[in-house]
Structure 1
Amino acid sequence: MSAFDTNPFENPVDVNPFQDPSVTGVTHSGVDQQYNPFSGTDSDALRGTTIPASTAPSQPAVLQPSVEPSPQQVAAAAAQANLLRQQEELERKAAELERREQELQSRAGPTGKENNWPPLPKSFPIKPCFYQDFSEEIPQEHQRICKMMYYLWMLYCVTLFLNVLACLAYFTVQSDYGVDFGLSILWFILFTPCSFLCWYRQIYKAFKTDSSFSFFSFFFIFFAQVVISVIQSVGIPKWGNSGWIAAISIVRTNMSVAAVMMVVAIFFTICAVMSIFLLKMVHSHYRRTGASFQKAQQEFSQGVLTNRTFQNAAMNATASAAQNSFQRN
């Protein structure tokens, strides 16, 4: 009945909608009330669970300026990279030398590899004197030029043998030039083994051990070999060489013998040209290995001082000198 007692014509009471407790509680709390869609229950969402906003003052975004490296820093970085590359190269060479040394030591043992050069039959009474294997003992960057030096030695030996035949033909036509035939035999017997031992094995050892002393020995001996090849291609009469001068001098006498001698002269010329070309190639490889004359001297002194024969001779000389001095006193 109280609802009917209310006078509808009375002045309505002013109702302030902001006096609602739910509104005043939010406005006086000092915290922004936001709807959290990730709340646990629907009732919380309906009640408007709030998340306090960050009260830290916002700072404007600042872009860091890019700093260009100075030329000194670039040069220092390049120098450091170069040093690291050189160190890696030295470590690689040291590992390669150690591997070869171990292989040589294993070969020297009872189960090691036997000598394989010259390739002789097993039934032959003379056994091979050297071990030669390009793929195993020579670094890959030097294998090509080392093989070319080996082919040059074989070509030179074949040319010396053909020179003996050409001088024999020359002797049959001109009996006065028997000295050429005799000297040609001497050159074939002398130069064939000496060229192998003196300059081919020197360059083989130089590439195998990276020895500056072996390089210098090769340069000194092979330069003499180049001079000898040039003289043999010229063909001075009575020197035992079937070169151009000797071949041209017999053209009017016997054309067939002159043709044979010209072929030998061409072979001598090819040997001389290839010798000069390979000498330059070896020199360029030698410069790239970092060898020097001081290093060769150091290797020579170390090799002499550690040689057992030299040590015994020095000890004997010292003992003899001391004994003579004691006797005099």
Structure 2
Amino acid sequence: MAQNTDGGNPFAEPGELDNPFQDPAVIQHRPSPQYATLDVYNPFETREPPSTYEPPAPAPAPLPPPSAPSQSSRKLSPSEPKNYGSYSTQASAAAATAELLKKQEELNRKAEELDRRERELQHAALGGKATRQNNWPPLPSFCPVQPCFFQDISMEIPQEFQKTVSTMYYLWMCSTLALLLNFLACLASFCVETNNGAGFGLSILWIILFTPCSFVCWYRPMYKAFRSDSSFNFFIFFFIFFAQDVLFVLQAIGIPGWGFSGWISALVVLKTNTAVAVLMLLVALFFTGIAVLGIVMLKRIHSLYRRTGASFQKAQQEFAAGVFSNPAVRTAAANAAAGAAENAFRAP
């Protein structure tokens, strides 16, 4: 065997390299500039960091044929304002909502009316055939005088008229309070000036006379008119309450000697005593407010009366039906007819 005189690998095959470091397996593991090792690291050499791995971009999908994008399928960008519908659509939706609210209020009003009637029927069922127990005026049980009327605005008066009836009730209470204050003012005026004795006496008469008469003559007819839609009671109320408004105006004017502490009477007493004059001026102001409120309420009730369909012919029919349904009137008419027939038979 021939020896290798070059100092190569004695076991190398012919044709192989004699340098073992030229082996491809060794060459591919040699340090390269991409791998930083201590042997090849140079602190004075700047290298760019290796780029991150980026997957290959997928092939673009074929574009669909151009067509008009629909409004519902198109996705809006964050900066693009949203379209919630046209103005006409929003207006129709608002109108529909208002209509629903109106119907809901009407249903609530009807429910309250049905509830009121149910309570009224229950009250009548509990009372049987007997009349309701009177509750006005609210007097204590030990008082010898018992209540004369039954009054329950929330139960007897329809829902749309309850506010009007309550206002008239407060007006009557204010007029009674004004008469009481008028009595005190006239008493003070009489104590200061003895010539005002006539006015003081009339103030006592007015508070005794007008307090019950005003309740019976114009408030109760108004109450019954709204309770049963009675044209006859409406006519009674209009006639008497108009006279009451005239009286309110006279009370506010305060003619001396009439027993009213109005403006004229207060200005006359102002020359004598300032404190009494101030009290009378307050009463005059109270009378003025009552007169104005009375005129306003008369106009309002008249407008309600015109909407209820009441008429003078209906009032006449109610009056005739009420008269003939009265047992006393029927008994008197029967007795009169029997007497007339007996006299006719006795006549020669």
The TM tier, using the shorter chain, reads 0.5 to 0.7
The Cα shift of 1:103 comes to 5.6
Amino acid at match of 1:184: S
User: 2:334 matched to 1:315?
Assistant: yes
The Cα shift of 1:307 comes to 1.2
Q: 2:224 — aligned with what? A: 205
Q: Which whole-Å CA distance do the structure 2 matches of 1:288 and 1:101 have between them?
A: 25
Aligned residues: 238
Question: Matches of residues 238-277 of structure 1 in structure 2 within 5 Å?
Answer: 238-277=257-296
Q: 1:288 — aligned with what? A: 307
Question: Matches of residues 227-242 of structure 1 in structure 2 within 5 Å?
Answer: 227-242=246-261
Q: Which has the larger radius of gyration?
A: 2
Q: 2:150 — aligned with what? A: 131
The Cα shift of 1:280 comes to 0.7
So what's the TM-score if we normalise by structure 2? 0.64
- 1:95/1:295 CA distance change after superposition, 3 Å: farther
Q: 1:165 — aligned with what? A: 184
Q: Which whole-Å CA distance do the structure 2 matches of 1:303 and 1:275 have between them?
A: 29
Runs of 4+ aligned residues of structure 1 deviating over 4 Å after TM superposition are 94-105, 110-113
Q: Deviation digits for residues 253-304 of structure 1, max 9, x if unmatched?
A: 1111111111111111111111000001111111111111111111111111
Q: Which whole-Å CA distance do the structure 2 matches of 1:288 and 1:128 have between them?
A: 34
Q: 1:55 — aligned with what? A: none
So what's the TM-score if we normalise by structure 1? 0.67
Is 2:189–2:196's contact at 8 Å kept on the other side of the alignment? yes
RMSD: 2.5
Worse-matched range after superposition: 97-106 or 202-211: 97-106
Q: Deviation digits for residues 139-161 of structure 1, max 9, x if unmatched?
A: 00000000000000000000000
- 1:105/1:122 CA distance change after superposition, 3 Å: same
Is 1:107–1:113's contact at 8 Å kept on the other side of the alignment? no
- Structure 1: stretches of 5+ with no match in the other structure: 1-90
Give the secondary structure class of the aligned counterpart of 1:186: helix
Given candidates 160, 164, 168, the residue that maps to 1:145 is 164
Q: Which whole-Å CA distance do the structure 1 matches of 2:129 and 2:333 have between them?
A: 33
- 1:165/1:308 CA distance change after superposition, 3 Å: same
The Cα shift of 1:320 comes to 2.3
The Cα shift of 1:216 comes to 0.7
Is 1:153–1:196's contact at 8 Å kept on the other side of the alignment? yes
Among all aligned residue pairs of Structure 1 and Structure 2, give the percentage whose two residues are the same amino acid. 56
Q: Which whole-Å CA distance do the structure 1 matches of 2:242 and 2:227 have between them?
A: 21
User: 2:96 matched to 1:114?
Assistant: no
Question: Matches of residues 14-163 of structure 1 in structure 2 within 5 Å?
Answer: 102=121, 105-106=124-125, 108-109=127-128, 114-163=133-182
Q: Deviation digits for residues 124-172 of structure 1, max 9, x if unmatched?
A: 3322222211111110000000000000000000000001001111111
Q: Deviation digits for residues 35-57 of structure 1, max 9, x if unmatched?
A: xxxxxxxxxxxxxxxxxxxxxxx
Is 2:157–2:226's contact at 8 Å kept on the other side of the alignment? yes
- 1:98/1:134 CA distance change after superposition, 3 Å: closer
Amino acid at match of 1:171: F
The Cα shift of 1:319 comes to 2.1
Q: Which whole-Å CA distance do the structure 2 matches of 1:107 and 1:209 have between them?
A: 21
The Cα shift of 1:112 comes to 7.3
Q: Which whole-Å CA distance do the structure 1 matches of 2:328 and 2:126 have between them?
A: 24
